[in-house]
Amino acid sequence: MAQHFLLSREARSLSLKTIYQNGEEAARDTFKRIRWEATGGEPVCPVCGCVESKAIKNRPTFRCLGCNKQYTATSGTIFASRKMSYTDLLAAICIFVNSVKGISALQLSRDLDCQHKTAFVLCHKLREALAAEIANEALGGEIEIDGAYFGGHIRPANNKANRVDRRRVENQTGKRRVVLALRERAGRTHTFVANSEAEGVAIASAVARNGSVFYADEASHWDALSANLVAHRINHSEAYSYGGGVHTNQVESFFSRLRLMVAGQHHHVSPQYLYQYANHAAWLEDHRRRSNGANAFALLGGALNHPVSPVWKGYWQRNVK
């Protein structure tokens, strides 16, 4: 039997050992090469686009000869105002892509010896950057659709006499949300956070190109899909696949990863940021057969092409906790 790709040497193309052995200057060169790919790593002013600059002595900073502004390889990107070194930032990305079931901010803060707050915001910036890879892309072809509920856990009371029926609306926290996933076969996984799975019907009509073919399970709200779209159904109480491609196994595989991520890493997810974890799991799922170095540099490229995030820039200054 052929060796699984993830067991091969090619799957391990970047390591923390190499990043730290090569040091800060090499890490900075990596950032420059990826940020300014078009000029072969030569700095381009993020303010005026001028390519003439002067390196400032003993600092990783350039001064633009056009507008006189000072900038670095991360100015104007999602990493703007960073305090972490290039080496630590590259190591953080390496750990982040190696963690195939996601990573908690606490775990990353221990790996990097930084504050939990720093790791929390850094992880969320990376999630925002990776989601931008397919934002606004229409879906097409064969698409598997499904939903799964996350969050809003109600802890049962200690004494049986005090326990409530956790299925009843009046006993719920209002924090439970559904993640809807639309997974293209041989394509990408798009996720949406909604209040009920039935909202997936409207989402599917809005984001799928004409001629798309859907695969869904037996849940009755998916009946409405067939009104506007071609939809095949699989009844999971009968079988997981009817053969001939009628199944939703690929979208179930995405949910398996997301469930493991939430249960094993985050433990608790807020409805506010659930979309970030869903996007993260989708990205990991879609790139699971790429080497860790390719994933790290693709993510770094996405982050360096992503503008400053209004959500995550100055997060702790606005949200003092």
Contact positions toward Zn ion, by CB under 5 A?
Answer: 45, 47-48, 50, 64, 66-67
Measured from the CB of residue 67, what is the shortest distance to Zn ion in angstroms?
3
If the CB atoms of residues 47 and 100 are measured against Zn ion, the closer one turns out to be 47
If the CB atoms of residues 64 and 126 are measured against Zn ion, the closer one turns out to be 64
How far apart (Å, rounded) are the C-alpha atoms in residues 46 and 55? 15
Residue tagged 């990353």 (tokens): 108
First to last CA, the chain: 54
Q: How many residues does the chain have?
A: 321
Which one, of 180, 175, 211, 172, lies nearest residue 198 by Cα?
180
Measured from the CB of residue 51, what is the shortest distance to Zn ion in angstroms?
9
R_g (Cα) of the chain, nearest Å: 23
How far apart (Å, rounded) are the C-alpha atoms in residues 297 and 302? 8
What single-letter amino acid sits at 198?
A
Measured from the CB of residue 32, what is the shortest distance to Zn ion in angstroms?
16
Residue tagged 């799922």 (tokens): 285
If the CB atoms of residues 68 and 115 are measured against Zn ion, the closer one turns out to be 68
If the CB atoms of residues 8 and 68 are measured against Zn ion, the closer one turns out to be 68
Which one, of 75, 81, 21, 78, lies nearest residue 44 by Cα?
75
Measured from the CB of residue 178, what is the shortest distance to Zn ion in angstroms?
46
If the CB atoms of residues 31 and 62 are measured against Zn ion, the closer one turns out to be 62
Measured from the CB of residue 33, what is the shortest distance to Zn ion in angstroms?
20
Measured from the CB of residue 54, what is the shortest distance to Zn ion in angstroms?
11
In degrees rounded to 5, what are phi and psi of residue 214? -100, 150
How far apart (Å, rounded) are the C-alpha atoms in residues 62 and 68? 9
If the CB atoms of residues 13 and 70 are measured against Zn ion, the closer one turns out to be 70
In angstroms, how far is CA 220 from the centroid of its own chain? 30
- DSSP letter (8 states) at residue 232: E
How far apart (Å, rounded) are the C-alpha atoms in residues 192 and 206? 12
Q: Provide the 10 A C-beta neighbour count for residue 314.
A: 13
Measured from the CB of residue 62, what is the shortest distance to Zn ion in angstroms?
9
Measured from the CB of residue 66, what is the shortest distance to Zn ion in angstroms?
4
Measured from the CB of residue 38, what is the shortest distance to Zn ion in angstroms?
16
Q: Do 43 and 32 meet the contact criterion of CB atoms below 8 Å apart?
A: yes
Token pair for 131: 């989601």
If the CB atoms of residues 47 and 84 are measured against Zn ion, the closer one turns out to be 47
Q: Do 88 and 62 meet the contact criterion of CB atoms below 8 Å apart?
A: no
If the CB atoms of residues 47 and 260 are measured against Zn ion, the closer one turns out to be 47
If the CB atoms of residues 64 and 278 are measured against Zn ion, the closer one turns out to be 64
